[in-house]
């Protein structure tokens, strides 16, 4: 039997009356990859913060290699061999790889930092985990995947015994994911225990030995991965079955008018003579591999990036969109794939973020009508079932799915007719995905028109009435949902230099 590394029992944590953790439990053994799953807001991050000393628990106990512990801060947990690799890497791009690994604990010789020893030790670390990275290059020159390997090497350099990986594949390419899984396999052989947090079911079933599920801050259960199904795990997470299969036919009337028409749009190297139509009440899915030009096309239509040529028509009338403000005036809104960078003011409240695009409507004699702003924000977020203690809660304290809902509420206030959703469910959990799907379908049923960009084929097939496939900046297919399947989409996603026909 493998030795138990970690045992957390009946962990409690409360914030201003809100119970973030209620009798949460978790166990990890040597050489085990143990998935920790749950909807956003289920308490996963809070549990990890308690483990590594960022937060102090209000109750419960933690045993680490059989001894009861409570780390006062992250420095003490790191010294004990616990390392966390966060989804958003916290590294210094202007320093070299070796400097990032040994920052704050650099080898010293004759009262000077010994760069040659630091480089040698880094090379040895990379050899141990089986990756080839030059320790002398600037970290900012590496891909996100390689930067993550540097973080793993940094953890190993601290004699890591427990490694937490939080959404480690969110920004990785397929080859980088394979490289990460290979390294995890090697760490497993060395007896290192790993807590793996992810919303991607295919990864969980492939890489983990056991799965522990949390819901609303509480422990739901632990199952052996090879003895359960995806549906059973999902049901544990949300208490209901979600998703549904592929849409069988379009919900759009054949005679529905075109609300948007794009003709021969060109923008840089990633958008080449792109033409398409969007009908009233239609969900138009954009599929393709990374770098296909889908986001660039959406940003050019929205005016966020300058187009080189091409025409845009809304309701049959040619319009000139040179900025996002022009797009909004014409009834187009855009929900970015990077909501924290482009969609939210993280230091502001839910109310302020919701009303952001419509403040002029609630201003008189130079003063904002705060009461009316809060009323309309509460109304729209109520329609979307946004989970927040109040409209004055800081947006950064909401889960990813609820942050996304606030942005949708913003555009509902503005009464936009055309919604561009760019990776609408990236970084949100399965339950929140289901709610987002229901929301998009409800918008379409009300007559709103949606362009949806997604890298998840299951999502494209689940929601789209029609699918456009792009490759290297060009449209390679334009198909009705009744004709579509994963194999056909992937075929056209790797087919170059063809403009799909209507």
Regarding whether 152 and 117 lie in a shared domain, the answer is yes
Lowest mean pLDDT among 278-292, 417-431, 447-461, 488-502: 488-502
Domain finish residue from 210, 238, 266: 238
Buried-state track 346-359, b at ≥16 Cβ within 10 A, e below 16: eeebbbbbbbbbbe
Domain finish residue from 207, 238, 269: 238
Tell me if 393 is assigned to some domain: yes
Alpha-carbon distance of 169 to 448, in angstroms, equals 33
Regarding whether 260 and 231 lie in a shared domain, the answer is no
Domain finish residue from 204, 238, 272: 238
pLDDT at residue 502 in the model: 36
Regarding whether 205 and 195 lie in a shared domain, the answer is yes
User: How much is the pTM?
Assistant: 0.58
CB atoms within 10 A of CB 64: 22
Mean pLDDT over 53-77 rounds to 95
Tell me if 437 is assigned to some domain: no
Regarding whether 176 and 66 lie in a shared domain, the answer is yes
Regarding whether 57 and 165 lie in a shared domain, the answer is yes
Tell me if 441 is assigned to some domain: no
Q: Is 305 exposed, middle or buried (0-12, 13-18, 19+ CB in 10 A)?
A: middle
- Work out how many domains the chain is built from and give that number: 3
pLDDT at residue 499 in the model: 44
Tell me if 247 is assigned to some domain: no
- Residues 114-172: tens digit of each pLDDT: 999 999 999 998 888 778 899 999 998 888 778 888 888 888 888 889 999 988 887 67
Regarding whether 311 and 460 lie in a shared domain, the answer is yes
Regarding whether 188 and 119 lie in a shared domain, the answer is yes
**Strands 4-15 and 18-29, bridge-based pairing:** antiparallel
The answer to whether 141 and 195 have CB atoms below 8 angstroms apart is no
Tell me if 354 is assigned to some domain: yes
Tell me if 246 is assigned to some domain: no
* Cα radius of gyration rounded to whole Å, the chain: 25
User: C-alpha distances in angstroms, 281 versus 85, 161, 477?
Assistant: 42, 53, 21
pLDDT at residue 500 in the model: 41
**What CATH number does residue 289 fall under?**
3.40.50.300
Which domain, by its residues, includes 205? 4-238
Higher-confidence residue: 346 or 480? Answer: 480
- Residues 160-215: tens digit of each pLDDT: 899 999 888 876 777 778 888 988 998 999 999 999 998 777 889 999 999 999 98
Regarding whether 264 and 187 lie in a shared domain, the answer is no
Regarding whether 227 and 262 lie in a shared domain, the answer is no
Tell me if 52 is assigned to some domain: yes
Higher-confidence residue: 176 or 261? Answer: 261
Q: Is 112 exposed, middle or buried (0-12, 13-18, 19+ CB in 10 A)?
A: exposed
The answer to whether 4 and 29 have CB atoms below 8 angstroms apart is yes
Residue 428 has pLDDT above 80, yes or no: no
Buried-state track 77-100, b at ≥16 Cβ within 10 A, e below 16: bbebbbbbbebebebeeeebbbbb
The percent of residues above 90 in pLDDT, for the chain, comes to 54
Regarding whether 467 and 356 lie in a shared domain, the answer is no
Alpha-carbon distance of 48 to 43, in angstroms, equals 9
Tell me if 348 is assigned to some domain: yes
Regarding whether 202 and 78 lie in a shared domain, the answer is yes
DSSP string, 284-315: EEEEE-TTSSHHHHHHHHHTSS--SEEEEEET
Mean pLDDT over 472-486 rounds to 93
Mean pLDDT over 292-299 rounds to 93
pLDDT at residue 244 in the model: 60
For the chain, the average pLDDT equals 88
Regarding whether 309 and 277 lie in a shared domain, the answer is yes
Return all residues near 485 (Cβ < 8 A) that are at least 6 apart: 246, 461
* Paired residues of 418 in beta bridges: 332, 449
């Amino acid at each position: 039997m493998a030795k138990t590394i970690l045992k957390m029992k009946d962990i409690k944590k409360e914030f201003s009356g809100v119970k973030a953790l209620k009798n949460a439990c978790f166990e990890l053994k040597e050489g085990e990859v143990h998935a920790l799953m749950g909807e956003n807001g289920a308490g996963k991050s809070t549990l990890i913060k308690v483990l590594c000393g960022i937060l102090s628990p209000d109750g419960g106990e933690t045993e680490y290699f059989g001894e009861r512990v409570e780390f006062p801060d992250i420095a003490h947990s790191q010294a004990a061999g616990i390392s966390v690799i966060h989804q958003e890497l916290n590294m210094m791009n202007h320093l070299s790889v070796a400097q990032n690994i040994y920052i704050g604990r650099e080898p010293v010789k004759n009262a000077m930092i010994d760069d040659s020893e630091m480089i040698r030790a880094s090379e040895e670390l990379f050899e141990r985990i089986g990756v080839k990275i030059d320790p002398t290059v600037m970290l900012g020159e590496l891909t996100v995947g390689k930067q993550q390997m540097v973080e793993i090497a940094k953890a190993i350099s601290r004699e890591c015994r427990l490694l937490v990986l939080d959404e480690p594949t969110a920004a990785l390419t397929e080859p980088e994911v394979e490289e990460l899984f290979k390294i995890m396999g090697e760490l497993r052989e060395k007896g290192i225990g790993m807590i793996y947090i992810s919303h991607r079911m295919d990864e969980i079933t492939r890489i983990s030995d056991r799965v522990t599920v949390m819901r609303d801050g509480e422990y739901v259960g632990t199952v052996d991965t090879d003895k359960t199904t995806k549906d059973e795990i999902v049901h544990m997470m949300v208490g209901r079955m979600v998703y549904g299969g592929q849409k069988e036919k379009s919900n759009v009337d054949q005679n529905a008018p075109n609300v948007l028409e794009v003709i021969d749009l060109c923008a840089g190297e990633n958008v080449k003579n792109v033409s398409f139509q969007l009908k009233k009440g239609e969900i138009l899915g954009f599929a393709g591999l990374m770098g296909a030009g889908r986001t660039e096309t959406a940003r050019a239509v929205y005016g966020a990036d300058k187009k080189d040529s091409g025409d845009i028509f809304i309701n049959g009338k040619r319009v000139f969109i040179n900025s996002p403000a022009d797009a909004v005036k014409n009834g187009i809104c855009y929900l970015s794939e990077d909501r924290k960078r482009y969609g939210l003011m993280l230091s502001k409240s839910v109310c302020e973020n919701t009303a952001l695009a419509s403040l002029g409507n609630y201003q008189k004699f130079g003063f904002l009508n705060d009461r009316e702003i809060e009323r309309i924000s509460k109304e729209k977020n109520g329609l979307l079932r946004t989970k927040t203690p109040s409209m004055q809660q800081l947006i950064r304290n909401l889960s990813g799915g609820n942050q996304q809902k606030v942005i949708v509420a913003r555009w509902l206030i503005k009464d936009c007719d055309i919604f561009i959703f760019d990776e609408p469910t990236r970084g949100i959990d399965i339950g929140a995905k289901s709610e987002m799907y229901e929301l998009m379908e409800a918008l379409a049923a009300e007559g709103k028109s949606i362009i949806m960009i997604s890298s998840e084929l299951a999502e494209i097939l689940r929601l789209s009435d029609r699918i456009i496939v792009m490759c290297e900046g060009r449209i390679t297919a334009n198909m009705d949902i009744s004709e579509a399947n994963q194999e056909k989409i992937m075929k056209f996603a790797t087919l170059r230099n063809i403009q799909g026909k209507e």
